[in-house]
Structure 1
Amino acid sequence: MYFEQRTIAGNFNEGTYPDNLYTDEDNCEVIKNYHRMNKNAKEVFDSLLQYNIERSERYAPEFKLWLIIGLIVILFVTFLPINADILVYRKMVNEFCKILLNLPPKHKEEAKNPLMDDIAIDSSNTGAVAKKVAQYKLIVIILVTYILIFLLFASYIALCVTMMKSTENSSMLLKWYFYSVERMVLAKRNR
């Protein structure tokens, strides 16, 4: 209908309209159906708006479900295995320390000496410094891992919230579009 109206208007602007406008099929169809279309336009646009609003309202619970399922999956895929690795590592280190503490004093003294004869190391300071550096590195690795997991959680939550907000914004845009169309239809009726 609108296409035919635009075609007729374009023909008038170009000066290529038919000799008798009232015998032209396109023009007669537009004139015949124009009032019926104006009468039903409000119902059509109203039903389209209601359909789209109901559809967007159906998406909100789905997004929340995906948010919950996604967070649980991320928890099981990242957080739990990393915590299990950390716990296993700590258990192994503790067992190794217990084994070293149970060694006879003779072997403990031999373990303090360097493996190569030509290296002279001050044994009083080196062990404590190496232990602190190793603990510091382990703490940094654990913190970086937890920060990355937190960023993964936060980005997934932000993605889901953005999808929910964009659905709400689309619904609002549809409502305002409906109001503008309704105003246009009412303006056409009053002419």
Structure 2
Amino acid sequence: MRMKEMHDYGWKFSKYTLTPVLQVYCNAGKFEKALSIFNDMNEREWVDMHVFSILVLSFSKWVEVDKAFELIERMEDHNITLNEKTFCVLIHGFVKESRVDKALQLFDKMQQSGYYPDFSLYDVLIGGLCKIKELEKALHLFSELKQLGIHSNVQILTKLMTSFSEENKMIQLLEEMQEDIDEEAMFFFTILF
């Protein structure tokens, strides 16, 4: 039965009946219909963090990163913030789509919201920055990771090392990292480079 037909038969919609409908449209990639439901819910003031998260995560999943980011900004207008899990999923999604700029903006918002990023977020952001050759930003995040007392691993070090084309930069990085990496990793890098 379609929404209009249900309404014509006297069905009364609520936040709890429209949220699953929104989810179905999002899962099917029917964003115009999903946005129509969202706007209807918004007019009735039924929008909460869960409803926003459904839309934002769906847009991210279907590679509509700019729309997802617009929704995040609309959430702020409603004084709604993302939860930690949603931040993490979105950051991973933005990096996967090579939108590291948006991922970094979310990373900052996440920290401003009082959440502490874990090692995997630093790993994915550093990897994304290395991929697009934003090495200074990658080194800044690596430095931030060290300041937090989080030890890096061979994967992060490999991403950084393979991104540098200048030998003196690699040597400088190895010297900085010497205290953070174990003997096995240092042996690996000595052989590799």
TM-score where L is the length of structure 1: 0.20
> Which has the bigger relative contact order, CA under 8 A and spacing at least 6?
1
Q: Higher helix proportion, which one?
A: 1
Which structure has the larger Rg? 1
TM-score relative to the length of structure 2: 0.20
